[in-house]
Chains A and B, each alone.
Chain A
Amino acid sequence: MDFETSWRKLGVISRMFARLGALALFAMMMLTTTDVVCRYALNSPIIGAFEITEFLVLILIFSFIGFTQSQNGHIAVDILFTRFPKRVQLVVGFVNHLVCLLLMGLIAWMGVMTGLELWEVGEKSSNLHIPKYPFAFFLALGCVVACIEYVRDLMELAMSSKEREE
């Protein structure tokens, strides 16, 4: 298997994470509904529903940022850009994705730092005493998945410029 196809195959990672995020979303809906029903019908709200929802939404978002990138779902302004010459578009697109890669990498790194700090302090959620550090690590992981997608976009751009030259 050559280098190019193996990069293409890496898209499977962001798809896997998206499935995980979909599960978190479904759980969030069920949890909120059950919580309200329990509160009014049985007079006993689910303890910690609030905190679990906060953790679930974090999982949801950071599971999806890579997938959204792979589906071209993050928005940008096209109107001027599409009037640039093709060559300029390629170069600017390359620089953009490179900058995004570096910035997202930095955010991932800061996520790891936050995670280590939370671990040391031993911070936990107030009702269920769930430790918070794994979620910071998950955030970092989601950002790494997004980085992989930026690299894949960079490869695509590099290849399409190679094709143009040939």
Chain B
Amino acid sequence: MSSELIGVLGIVSLFVLLALRMYIGMGMALLGFVGVGYLCGISSGTYILGIVPMAEGSSYTLTVIPLFVLMGQFAFLSGVSRDLYDTAYAWMGHFRGGLAMATILACGGFAAICGSSLATGATMAMVAIPEMDKYKYDPRLSTGCIAAGGTLGILIPPSIGFVIYGILTEQSIGKLFMAGFMPGFMLGGLFLLAIYLQCRLNPAMGPSGTPTSWKTKITSLKGTWGMLILFLIVMGGIYLGIFTPTEAAGIGAFGAMLFALCRGKLNLPTLIQALLDTGKTTAMIFLIIIGANIFSAFLGLTQLPTHLANFVAGLALPKVLVLAIIIVIYVALGCVMDCYAIMILTVPILFPVIEALRIDPIWFGVLMVIVLEVGLITPPVGLNVFVIKGAAPDVPLTTIFQGIWPFLLAAVLAIVLLTAFPQIATFLPEKMLGT
């Protein structure tokens, strides 16, 4: 049996194991161990099992993950989402569909201090759904806009998605963050447009709220400036090269903790809860990273990724076609799997193809994150959707999914625009001073 064939067999067995509900990290570790053991002898297999967990478990670059997750947890704890929503509402509420628009803006704002889509969606759902119910918003619009707005969490920096992509592909996390900025704004804008058009076609979907005075508009900014400063320190520091992403994450977490403390939301039990939740997420991500590294060691031995890359490059297909195929694969995987797991699982196999085709890895990272976001809100496993279902138990899942369609179209449009004008993503990272 040729070694490439063994590699293919390994990937197929992995999918079989995953379908049988094997834990993703452990499944990859198992097949990596068996594969290396088969190709190079059992002692090489056990050697890999000894060396990879120790190396990945004590990697300085990887510490950026728990620290950014912790920052998001503190932001979640601080209850700033309420103020963000009130601010956005004061400015947008009187428009038709204005509450839904305010939700998108508040989601975007929360995403700027939180790197997780689920946390963004969950916190906004609790604040915004009761308000929209009060103004008799169509549940399709109210739940759909939160599902969509939540996905901004992993596109607008800081973003756990970019951190993981950066680590897997050895790209600069700072550059990825900067690259996510403008596409994040663009996607948010397209979401607003989707709301505007829906309410234009069917005004009953989102009646306008009561107008607010300029004074209210200005004073509403009071609750949110602290968060804005935190965001500027973290992102500005990375952009100007004052500190590394890991340091930025540490400072961001500390700042978010102070922020929560000042707002009177931090005490010993909530602090411990935030730390425990962060630890859980971290262990979950790291076990997959460890498993993926063991699996990659095996795939590397089979030389399958290199051969696949050379094969695809040799076909001389148009890049757009290859990208389209990759996007279809991701959307399909996104229908059944968590987005971080997909990333860690596929990047070691697909990234050599991207490199061989000379596609800008930073730009591809942004594209991948948007595509994975689409996965977060598509049935049947749209995780964001289930979070919202938790906050609005009366709304049937089918209604939520119906409400998501216009936003999915907006996301598709964003992908098309990003492909047509790659500068949307690559402009800022080229200008930054840090690395």
Residues of A whose CB lies within 8 Å of any CB of B are 18-19, 21-22, 25-26, 28-33, 35-36, 40, 50, 53-58, 60-65, 67-68, 71, 73-81, 92-93, 96, 99-100, 103-104, 106-107, 110-111, 113-114, 135-136, 139, 143
A contact residues around B60 at 8 Å (CB): 50, 53-54, 57
Q: Are B26 and A61 in contact (CB under 8 A)?
A: no
CA distance A78 to B24 in the complex (A): 11
Cα A62 to Cα B243 with chains together (Å)? 28
Residues of chain A contacted by B282 (CB below 8 angstroms): 25, 60-61, 64
Chain B neighbourhood of A93, CB < 8 A: 21
Give every chain B residue within 8 A of A50 (Cβ-Cβ): 60
Q: Enumerate the 7 nearest inter-chain pairs by beta-carbon distance, A residue then B residue, closest first.
A: A32-B250, A110-B50, A64-B283, A22-B275, A81-B21, A68-B283, A64-B279
CB of A77 within 8 A of CB of B62, answer: no
> Of residues 47 to 85 in B, which have CB atoms within 8 Å of A's CB atoms?
47, 49-51, 53-54, 57-60, 62-63, 66-67, 70
Q: Which residues of B contact A32 (CB under 8 A)?
A: 63, 67, 246-247, 249-251, 254
| B283 contacts A111, C-beta separation under 8 Å | no
Contact between B276 and A33 (Cβ–Cβ < 8 Å)? no
Listed by A's residue number, 5 A-B pairs whose Cβ atoms lie within 8 Å are A32-B247, A53-B246, A57-B59, A60-B66, A76-B18
Tell whether B356 is near chain A: CB-to-CB under 8 Å.
no
CB A125 to nearest CB in B, in angstroms, measures 10
Does B286 belong to the interface (CB within 8 Å)? yes
Q: Does B395 contact A (CB under 8 A)?
A: no
Residues of chain B in range 260-279 having any CB-CB distance to chain A below 8 Å: 272, 275-276, 278-279
Chain B residue total in the interface (Cβ 8 A): 57
- Separation in Å of the B309 CB from the closest CB of chain A? 27
A64 engages B33 (CB within 8 Å): no
B58 lies within 8 A of A57 (CB): yes
Majority SS at the chain A contact face: helix
Contact B338 A22 (CB under 8 A): no
Give which listed residue, A74, A77, A110, contacts B287 with CB less than 8 A.
Answer: A74
Query: Which of chain B's residues have a CB closer than 8 A to the CB of A106?
Result: 33, 46, 49
Beyond A32-B247, A57-B62, whether A76 also contacts B23 by CB under 8 A is: yes
Query: Counting CB contacts under 8 A, is B380 at the interface?
Result: yes
Tell me whether B19 and A77 are in contact (CB under 8 A). yes
Q: In the complex the two chains form, is B283's CB within 8 Å of A73's CB?
A: yes
Q: Given A29-B253, A35-B247, A92-B20: A79 and B279 within 8 A (CB)?
A: no
Cα–Cα distance between A107 and B257 once the two chains are bound (Å):
36
Is B25 part of the contact surface with A, judged by Cβ < 8 Å? yes
Contacts of A60 in B (CB 8 A): 66, 279, 282
In contact, B63 and A57 (Cβ under 8 angstroms): yes
Q: Assess whether B336 is interfacial by the CB under 8 Å rule.
A: yes
B residues less than 8 Å from A18 (CB atoms): 276, 279
Known: A65-B287, A73-B284, A114-B50. A103 touches B26 (CB 8 A): yes
B22 touches A (CB below 8 Å): yes
Instruction: State whether the Cβ of B29 lies closer than 8 Å to any Cβ in chain A.
Output: yes
Q: Is the CB of B337 within 8 A of A55?
A: no
B46 contacts which chain A residues (CB < 8 A)? Answer: 106, 110
Q: Is B397 interfacial (CB 8 A cutoff)?
A: no
Please name all residues of chain B whose beta carbon is closer than 8 Å to the beta carbon of A29 when the two chains form the complex. Answer: 67, 70, 250, 253-254, 257
- In chain B, positions 7-25 with a C-beta closer than 8 Å to chain A are 18-25
Whether A33 contacts B250 by the Cβ 8 Å rule is yes
* Closest-CB distance, B68 to chain A (whole angstroms): 11
